[in-house]
A and B are shown apart, each in its own frame.
Chain A
Amino acid sequence: MTAASHPSSYLWLIPFLPFFGFLINGLSGRKLRNTKVVDFFALGSVGVAFLLTLWHFIQLAGLPADGRSLHQTLWTWFDVGGARVLGGLTTYKVAWAYKFDVLSGCMALLVSGAGFLIHLFSTGYMAEERNDGRYYRFMAYLNLFVFSMLNLVLGANILMMFLGWEGVGLCSYLLIGFYFEKEFAAVAGKKAFVTNRIGDFGFMLGFFLIFQVFGTLDYDTLMGSVRGIATLPAITLYGHTASPTWWFNVIGCCLFVGAMGKSAQIPLYVWLPDAMAGPTPVSALIHAATMVTSGLYMITRLNFIYVNAPVALAVVLAFGSLTAFVAATMGLAQYDIKKVLAYSTVSQLGFMFMGMGAGAFSAGMFHVFTHAFFKASLFLGSGAVIAACHHEQDMRNMGGLKKLMPITAMSMILATFAIAGIFPFSGFFSKDEILWKVFEGWYQHGHYTGPTLNLVAWILGMLGAFCTAFYMTRLIAMTFYGNYRGAGDDPYNLTVQSEAHGHDDHAAHGHGGHDAHDAHGAHAHAAVHEDHAHELDQAHNHHTDNPEDHDFVAGHHPHEVSWRMWLPVAILAGLAVVGGFLNYPESLHRILPIVPAELFSKWIEPLLYQTAPVHHGEHVPPAIEYGLMAWATLVWAPAAMGLAWWIYKVDPSWSRAKAFVARFPNLYRWVNAKYYVDEFYEAALIEPIKRFSAQLWSFDTWVVDGMVNGAARVTLLWARLSHWIDEYLVDGTVDLVEYIVQETSQVFRGVQSGRVQHYAFVMILGFLVIAFWKFLV
């Protein structure tokens, strides 16, 4: 057996380089006049981190399969002392440590690679911020995000993951609310953070329980001891005895709540669509490619819990498939281009969870990567479109952009083929693999989760896939085909006064008004502003400093964006086209061996908990597998795409869509309003909590504090009473005695006459009285 992990000295640089970038830009960026310096540190740090990741990845590939792990411990983060856990006393010390293995390596490549491309895109997209002094802030936040995300994936224990987990949450909060003067953005940022906190609640309880059971949070120790614990006859904690499966189910469900928050699953998905208030690169990086996949990463990382927790897997499958379907239907009736993509992301994340729920961790994880490619490309593409259309986000006000922005359009169309699952684009290999695994689970009588659930999930998944292909084609048709409606060329009266306009809006657009074509030649060399342009003339790409205007002028058309923006879109689209071959299915390989089969699955396999190889039910006949594949890619998805094409492209007046809406107004209203989930939460959760808080406050003021003040008042009352008693009773008594003495003295004064004979008489009288009394007694 080879060593399970190898030390590496430069691992820390991967997350820390972006952190240094953040520090430099964050601390000094405000004083830097030249935003190119900001670019240098921001892009440089992430770029070098990517190269380092690549270097480590190559190292990793050179190792034997069961030893593909590099690690580095920086310092003991905290050491709390002893804790009583299952089986005894643990003195676990939490280390600030990194682990680069088959899973975290891939994720780190994705984070730093896509991160770099999106940084590059941002240098173009955020051009207008270069002048108003907050460009540095955006770049610093992005760097901080990359740092946090790399901590999340590279951390060697669950607390390191949690560190990154919360860190990305913070960056998400900061970036969603980047245009903080807009109420909507600020509220959306807070909503994202708080919703994620609800998820964290589950996550924390999950890892507390892991700690109780395992006495450690280090991945290596967990993986090394899980088989022993999973095969215990029973586990007794807190006086409750149950099978390990029972405990693992609880852990798995708790952790999944965390994943629901971060990865936007029903019922905690509501923050993601609102998060589109952030600048579009943020949506691409955080809310499509990387952060939202943290939940998937976490489940794959802790797959050894889930494999031993069938109920938890069933829960994952159920919520995943439900989200995949419901969110996809929400995407059908949105007009905001980013909202369509947002619901699409929620839905695609649901697909990934479906894969995990079916026990196909590598399929789910593979979809993370392919989705990152095509969704990041789509988001960035939409960002380019939005920028070109003067920050217009409503697709009804777009159209015909294919001719005007050919590169962006081509990239997005390719990415659409990928997400729809058309062979041989990447989505086919990942999404259909997931659907296939779910189907297979049903066929094999519920490998993990029971047959009925698998069948239902598969049906939901197929419907979701249909909707996906539909709304994506709709998006393409509305945006890139027909006439450009934004400039008044709108024969069917489709444009609207956009509500979406301005959500992801830049601050004031204070440019002069001149046409791009003329301006370019005249200003290309003279320009001194950093104000970036969306150039048409690609030959002049390196002159990015020319001021251009994007005011709403009738007849003025959008044009292709600069290379800084289309290049990342195109690269990601390219990856979306070919990426699928990294996990070429075994079954296809048998008939068409063009690339090695299941590269990704085999790569990630050493990390997946293997149960003893037991066959459930029967193998699915290959005919069914081929048949389903062909069905999905040749019939199902094309049908959806064709339908959308027929509705939105073939008939440019969209009269068929309008007829449908007229026919089913309520259905449309509900879908368009996203089933009123937000309103429901507001009414059923947030308002009652606020009301309850107000009541508590009254309680605090009137009852709790009332008792204190009451005590004070009672004391005062007592004091008054005492005063009265003092004055009238106590002092009164004294006065009375005095009075009585005075009065009686009047009587006795007479007695004290001063005459001796009087005294002698009284003496004798007294003597007689005593003598008489003595005599009597």
Chain B
Amino acid sequence: MFTANTTLMLVATFLPLLGALVLLLVPKDQRRVFEIGSLLVMIASFLLSAIFWFAYDRTSDAVQWAHAWNWIPAIGVKFSVGMDGISLLLWLLTTFIGPIAIACSFSSITERHKEYYIWMLVLQTAMLGVFITQDMFLFYLFWEVMLVPMYFLIAIWGGPQKLYAAIKLFLYTLAGGVLMLVAILAIYFLQHQATGAYDFSLASFQAMAPIIAQQSKTYQILLALAFFIGFAIKVPMFPFHTWLPDAHVQAPTAGSVILAAILLKMGTYGFVRFLLPILPDATKMLLKPFLILSLIGIIYGALVAMIQKDMKKLVAYSSVSHLGICMLGLFALNPYGIKGGMLQMINHGISTSGLFLAVGVVYERRHTRMIADFGGLSKNMPIYATIFMIMTMSSLGLPLLNGFIGEGVVLMGAFQAFPWAAVVATLGIILGAAYLLWMYQRVMFGSITPVNEKMADLNLREVLYFAPLVVVAFWIGMYPKPVMDVMDAPVKKLVEQITPGFHAAQALAAQQAAAAKVGMQGMAAPAHHEESAPAGHEAAPAGHEAPVHETPAPETHGHGGGH
């Protein structure tokens, strides 16, 4: 029963929706039932999804557990599902964040519990659906459906300006979605012209890449721009980001968590899944402006975050900065960049969720999020201080924690392709340390006021919902290899789709292995250099094919040890 297959994947995806339907039947004064019930559903969904982590075949770049049912045959729409490593990671991130978002709502949601938890569950299924579909029509459907529960979550349980924020979020992203729909339809009809078939499947769209590449430049650029704006609003990239701070500030804690961890990833996922493989040539044509927007996002988001007075707004702007790093990685168009960008999506999901939860904790206790209202909390909230510190460090990219791996790999990838961009982005990382530590200092350090002194440290429930985030942050920081391995094959495929022949270059592995054997012995001056110039760099070259001058003699020595 519990083997990874399409059915189980669908069960895990639709279980929250099912749970929502069941909860509909419960009378609305049963608060506990909604809380515990939805938590259990989310946990069950997560446990089921975890099976796929182990079952995933990491050597294959194919879409796994794929299946398609005819849905609207007349226009070629299929209910087509399946996952590759890229979607699997985000799908798992969603099921992972789900229970945490529920658990953090127990005390923060004080009214209309029934609707709240039902909307949360519906939202969860909609988001999970986005990551498993392999059909453009279905994708668009999930993509838009997801907005509805999010709208209600903000509009009902949000802060003072909740309606403004909710409508802004809805309309802004809807506008992007419509642009995307136009692009999808354009490709759909182009495909009909080229092949005579009506087909919405992702594979057939990706197969259109060479045909699109033959179209006029304007056509390609317009298509790419339509996709770009659609996704860029969701990410959000500068200058499409202004809905984000409003939505975050107004949303309840769980809403912010889901918004940051998952919803924004829809945009980045869209880039990886659609823009890059379907329109590689057009992307390359527009790469400079895309990169520049990413870089502006990194620096601009960080600078604006620095002077925020509201903690939540600060974290929201930090998201703009972090997602700029994601996008920079994706636009580097090489394995380091894309893998780093993907990993950074996960990391942002972990660390920014953690930061929003941390803000939520003090908000629940003091009903304010203004930095100036706090100070010295380390004194009476040591556990909170530790967890907040870990999340801060994870967010600013400290090694041993997840953020470093993502950022570092993105920057390395960007440096391979566009060193100037990496230089600018690295500057942004300095600012990251500045605004996060400044916030931490003002909230946690310094002298404490009597009001704040009464604030209680984390209770067990709070520790429990932070714990998974902390564990994953350390896990990805210390041993990210399994995560990298999952996306290895799909990213390789993607890079080949963008730059055919990328991996065909001469491999340096053998040469490096030989050099590694020489090691320290390569430091000694070789005898034949006796008469050469000072630093040896004017000597007759040996060519790069043979950077190792002395091939090491066969090693017959035993191991060092204690002789």
Using CB atoms and an 8 Å cutoff, list the residues of chain A in contact with chain B: 1-8, 30, 59, 62-63, 66-70, 75-92, 96, 101, 159, 162-163, 165-167, 170, 173, 177, 180-181, 183, 185-187, 189-190, 193-194, 197-198, 200-201, 204-205, 208-209, 211-212, 215-216, 218-233, 238, 243-245, 304, 307-308, 310, 606-614, 616, 689-690, 692-694, 696-697, 700, 704-705, 707-708, 712
Task: Across the A-B interface, give the 5 residue pairs with the lowest CB-CB distance, nearest first.
Answer: A6-B560, A228-B547, A224-B515, A224-B518, A4-B519
Within 8 A of A (CB), among B322-353: 334-336, 339-340
Bound CA–CA A205/B420 (angstroms): 10
Q: CB distance B518 to A87 under 8 Å?
A: no
Say which residue of A90, A166, A243 sits within 8 Å of B399 (CB atoms).
A166
Q: CB distance A77 to B479 under 8 Å?
A: yes
Using CB atoms and an 8 Å cutoff, list the residues of chain B in contact with chain A: 168, 171-172, 238-239, 241-243, 300, 303-304, 306-308, 334-336, 339-340, 376, 378-379, 382, 393, 398-400, 404-405, 408-409, 411-413, 415-416, 419, 422-423, 426-427, 429-430, 433-434, 437-438, 441, 444-448, 478-481, 484-485, 488, 491-492, 495, 502-509, 511-512, 514-526, 529-537, 539-550, 552-553, 555, 557, 559-563
Say which residue of B335, B399, B524, B544 sits within 8 Å of A610 (CB atoms).
B524
Take A89-B503, A696-B300 as given contacts and tell me if A81 and B336 are in contact as well, using a CB distance cutoff of 8 Å: yes
Interface of chain B: mostly helix, strand, loop or mixed: helix
Most buried by A among B304, B419, B529: B304
Q: CB distance A216 to B512 under 8 Å?
A: yes
Q: CB distance A693 to B307 under 8 Å?
A: yes
Chain A residues in 8 Å Cβ range of B504: 89
Chain A residues in 8 Å Cβ range of B422: 205, 208
Q: CB distance A69 to B306 under 8 Å?
A: no
Q: CB distance A230 to B335 under 8 Å?
A: no
Q: CB distance A231 to B560 under 8 Å?
A: no
Bound CA–CA A268/B485 (angstroms): 40
Take A78-B409, A705-B242 as given contacts and tell me if A693 and B445 are in contact as well, using a CB distance cutoff of 8 Å: no
Say which residue of A4, A86, A90, A204 sits within 8 Å of B520 (CB atoms).
A4
Q: CB distance A90 to B522 under 8 Å?
A: no
B181 to chain A, nearest CB (A): 19
24 interchain pairs (CB within 8 A)?
Answer: A5-B560, A62-B563, A80-B412, A81-B339, A82-B502, A87-B508, A89-B505, A159-B408, A167-B398, A186-B441, A187-B441, A193-B437, A197-B430, A200-B430, A201-B429, A223-B520, A224-B521, A231-B539, A232-B547, A308-B537, A606-B523, A696-B300, A700-B304, A708-B242
Take A612-B530, A697-B304 as given contacts and tell me if A186 and B520 are in contact as well, using a CB distance cutoff of 8 Å: no
Chain A residues in 8 Å Cβ range of B415: 205, 208-209, 211-212
Q: CB distance B303 to A689 under 8 Å?
A: yes
Q: CB distance B563 to A166 under 8 Å?
A: no
Say which residue of B405, B430, B509, B519 sits within 8 Å of A224 (CB atoms).
B519
Nearest-CB residue, chain A, relative to B509: A91
Taking A82-B502, A224-B548, A609-B523 as given, write out 15 further A-B residue pairs in contact, using a Cβ cutoff of 8 Å, ordered by the A residue number: A4-B518, A63-B560, A80-B336, A81-B491, A82-B335, A84-B334, A84-B505, A101-B520, A190-B437, A194-B433, A197-B429, A205-B422, A225-B512, A228-B549, A233-B541
Chain B residues in 8 Å Cβ range of A189: 441
Nearest-CB residue, chain A, relative to B476: A78
Chain B residues in 8 Å Cβ range of A83: 334-336, 412-413, 416
Chain B residues in 8 Å Cβ range of A86: 544
Q: CB distance B446 to A62 under 8 Å?
A: no
Most buried by B among A6, A229, A697: A697
Chain A residues in 8 Å Cβ range of B413: 80, 83
Bound CA–CA A216/B266 (angstroms): 34
Bound CA–CA A461/B334 (angstroms): 48
Nearest-CB residue, chain B, relative to A254: B423
Bound CA–CA A92/B553 (angstroms): 24
Most buried by B among A7, A83, A185, A219: A83
Bound CA–CA A612/B419 (angstroms): 34
Bound CA–CA A67/B376 (angstroms): 53
Chain A residues in 8 Å Cβ range of B434: 194, 197
Chain B residues in 8 Å Cβ range of A230: 535-537
Most buried by B among A230, A231, A614: A231
Chain B residues in 8 Å Cβ range of A96: 478
Chain A residues in 8 Å Cβ range of B336: 80-81, 83
Bound CA–CA A204/B171 (angstroms): 41
Chain A residues in 8 Å Cβ range of B438: 190
Chain B residues in 8 Å Cβ range of A704: 238-239, 241-242
Q: CB distance B509 to A90 under 8 Å?
A: yes
Q: CB distance A694 to B441 under 8 Å?
A: no
Chain A residues in 8 Å Cβ range of B514: 224
A136 to chain B, nearest CB (A): 11
Chain A residues in 8 Å Cβ range of B503: 82, 89
Q: CB distance A198 to B430 under 8 Å?
A: yes
A308 to chain B, nearest CB (A): 5
Q: CB distance A80 to B505 under 8 Å?
A: no
Nearest-CB residue, chain A, relative to B383: A30
Say which residue of B447, B505, B529, B541 sits within 8 Å of A232 (CB atoms).
B541
